[in-house]
Structure 1
Amino acid sequence: MLPGGIPTSGAGRIAATSDAQAVALWLGEYRASPNTQRAYRREAERLLLWLNERDMSLAELRRDHLDAFEAFLGDPMPKERWVGPTRARQDPRWRPFRGPLSPSSRRQSLVILQGLCAWLVEAGWLDHNPFRLMRDKRRRLDNRQTAIERYLERPLWEWLWQWLDQPPSLQASRRERFLWMRRRLVFGFAYLLAPRIGEMSGARMDDFTRLEGRWWWRVTGKGGKTARIPVPPDMMRLLAEWRTSLGLSPEPSPDEPTPLLRGLDGQRGVGDNHLYRLIRATFEQAASTLERQLGVDAGREVAQLRRATPHWLRHTALTHQAQAGVELRYLAETARHSRLDTTARYLHAEAEEWHRQQSRHGLAVHGKAGADAPGKQPV
């Protein structure tokens, strides 16, 4: 059960007797989206634990507390109490943080908690929403961006894929070859079909179906919405090689409700946490390799790889599709966005053209034909 004490506010419109129960009811509204529910639970739990340290309830949360809480998210102290590696929630060594949150992650946390408090006000559990008192609320809590920035630019992605695509040595063990093949499939799948991490871990073999000679990927995403995405030839090639390594036929059949991504036994599926760690570890290994190859010349790219998360792969996929000329309506279908303006954040063509035209405007260079001499008066 989440931490939380008895509220000081009046009777509510929900069957709860503690903050923990009230938050649990809010989380229940997201039961159809397990990944969203898990992310929201994490942020709510951090807030309740922080309040619990101060012997406070949600009803006592004031505007000035929000600044202190945001600072705490950026530097959770004492570190030994709050920060640690990923562990099962029941493990006594479990900690709420893997490390300090970045500015964008802190903003996302505040966005989620603003929604929590708004729901609790409507439920009668709280009598006010302190987030509404933030003067710079629009800057802090409007999580919409004018353009997607957390993605790998094409040259860096191409280097990463070449590195991933290099087969292990002939002396490599069977385990090493399996891990290489799986990692290659994970990154290829992420780049070619732009899935969310939960959609990747939940993918089954029979989600890939052929209709009238064309392959499609059937996916159930956020909100339980089911979509069908065209599967490009490169994905079918990766899938065929992966299946062959598992001792299966190259193409999946309609009666294979088995996991796409599998553990070392070749049978059990790979969960979200395992997949997250796999991708993050790969980014770190790639960063170290690039740093050894190019040193300080690749400082920016190395830093990007070390910051990258699994969701960067989705952003990278959609951004590169947009740059390749995929029409906005099809890009929105692949992304499974309900609003076109959400998808439009991946369109960088106008920014590139603006930059190109702006480059025509510059300073005169001495010695260049047509440049005015110093002191010469303009006509």
Structure 2
Amino acid sequence: MPETTRGQGSRIAAGSDVEAVGQWLTEYRASLQTQRAYRREAERLLLWLAEQGLGLAGVRRDHLVAFEAFLADPRPRERWIGPPRPRHAEEWRPFRGPLAPASRRQSLVILQGMFAWLAEAGWVAHNPFRLMRDKRRRLDNRQGGIERYLERPLWAWFWAWLNRELNRPAEEGASPRQRFEHRRRRLVFGFAYLLAPRIGEMSAAYMGDFQRREGRWWWRVTGKGNKTAVIPVPPDMAALLTEWRVGLGLAPEPLPDDATPLLRALDGRRGLGDNRLYRLIRDAFREAADTLEAEQGEGGRPWAMRLRAATPHWLRHTALTHQAQAGVELRYLAATARHSRLDTTARYLHAEDEAWHHQQSLHRLGADADRDEPV
């Protein structure tokens, strides 16, 4: 990878762009999930720059435009795009597919912050993002309402499908492994829908994180920014937890000091990592999409396409959107989401959209029976 020549103004002990970026990433060591996300975006940029024969110090504004276009369509596909694989595997690729507009914005927001830090550290002479006249519009990540979620009818169908799949093994004499996998899948999606966790929070959850106080269940979670919160657990989640534990041969309720994983591998003891959990959720969405299309034909194709596009983070969006639609107050919704800003949570409120759509439906072609005759 091309290296840039450092002048006397560098304020960090780094000998290469990779080392400089590594020092920036250490600033996020308190939040491993954030650090992983930032590392991914920085790595994509460094790999792309290497293909152009560039280092960080040589990045100009026009390079940023070209890089954003690349994020939308990484080519050649065989070089950049592939299924999830361990980072050290030969088949590993930086992308799962082209990035959607929101993901491209997020990538540029992260990289803008990285360049600001590197400029302050004296590693690069300037931050090229500051030359973008439309920077605020392009990089403002506070966009409109959330759209990447499953609508209520689609979620209802999906949850019914999960339960149908759970009951089918018993009818067909399935193996213990198959029954275990179906119970785990139901817990995963129920957990995601009822408590709106991030995927890293799900994989890191322990049994003892669920505790009963004065007859009510609570979930203790340490999430983004290493912040800890205690979230009310609805009855349906408490029931799922009990069913899961009994299926594992455990007592119905966990003890407060139970530090064993909530979500487990096939041996029933080891925890699930982020990558395995991600694949489990995506596989379920794809299976459901195939079933939906097989059952409903062309009529089910739009919903099937939504399911195939869905990622684990859609479950968090789905949970918060449906809570908002059910009338959960904004302050409680923000507490469940663990957002620091109410305007972030407000993106899940679709009441204005529904009211607007209703009002617009009053505007009709032709004369209505109740209208006065034209004069």
Bin the TM-score by the shorter chain: over 0.9
- Partner-residue secondary structure (3-state), 2:219: strand
Q: Helix, strand or coil: the match of 2:13?
A: coil
Out of 233, 249, 253, which is 2:251 matched to?
249
Report the residue type matching 1:306 in the other structure: R
Which is worse superposed, 33-42 or 350-359? 350-359
**Structure 1 residue 8: Cα displacement:** 5.2
Quote the residue 2:143 is aligned against: 145
Contact residue 364 and residue 371 of structure 1 kept, 8 A: no
Residue 178 of structure 1: CA displacement?
Answer: 0.4
Does the CA contact (< 8 Å) of 2:2 and 2:53 recur in 1?
Answer: no
Q: Distance in 2 between matches of 1:7 and 1:57?
A: 10
How far the C-alpha of 1:371 sits from its partner, in A, is: 6.4
What runs of 5+ residues in structure 2 fail to find an aligned partner?
Answer: none
| Residues 4 and 56 in structure 2, CA contact (< 8 A), matched pair in contact too | no
Displacement after TM superposition at 1:81 (Å): 2.1
CA contact (8 A) 1:9 1:126 kept: no
Match of 2:347 in 1: 345
The CA distance in 2 between the partners of 1:354 and 1:99, in whole Å, is 35
Match of 2:80 in 1: 82
CA distance change for structure 1 residues 9 and 101 in 2, over 3 Å: closer, same or farther?
farther
How far is the alpha carbon of 1:7 from its aligned partner? 4.0
Does structure 1 residue 36 correspond to structure 2 residue 10? no
Match of 2:13 among 9, 12, 15: 15
Aligned to 1:68: 66
For residue 301 of structure 1, give the secondary structure of its aligned residue in structure 2: helix
* Greater mean alpha carbon deviation, residues 224-233 or residues 118-127: 118-127
TM-score (norm. length: structure 1): 0.94
1: CA distance between counterparts of 2:81 and 2:215?
51
Which one of 150, 161, 164 corresponds to residue 162 of structure 2? 164
Q: Deviations over 1:177-204 (max 9, x none)?
A: 1000000000000000000000000000
Paired residues, number: 371
CA deviation vs aligned residue, 1:57-99 (integer Å, no higher than 9, x gap): 1010011111221222222222222222222222233221222
62-71 or 79-88: which moved more? 79-88
The CA distance in 2 between the partners of 1:4 and 1:34, in whole Å, is 28
CA distance in 2, matches of 1:168, 1:182: 15
Contact 1:168-1:180 within 8 A present in 2 as well: no
The one of 276, 279, 285 aligned to 2:278: 276
Percent identical among aligned pairs is 70
Q: Aligned AA for 2:117?
A: W
Aligned equivalent of 2:203: 201
Shift of 1:4: 5.9
1:369: Cα distance to partner? 5.6
**What is the one-letter code of the residue matched to 1:84?**
G
Q: CA, structure 1 residues 293+212, in 2 after alignment: closer, same or farther (shift >3 Å)?
A: same
Instruction: Give the alignment partner of residue 329 of structure 1, picking from 328, 331, 336.
Output: 331
Residue identity opposite 2:168 in structure 1: P
Q: Describe how 1:175-214 pairs up with structure 2 within 5 A.
A: 175-214=177-216
Per-residue deviation, 1:222: 0.7
Which residue in 1 is equivalent to 2:305?
303
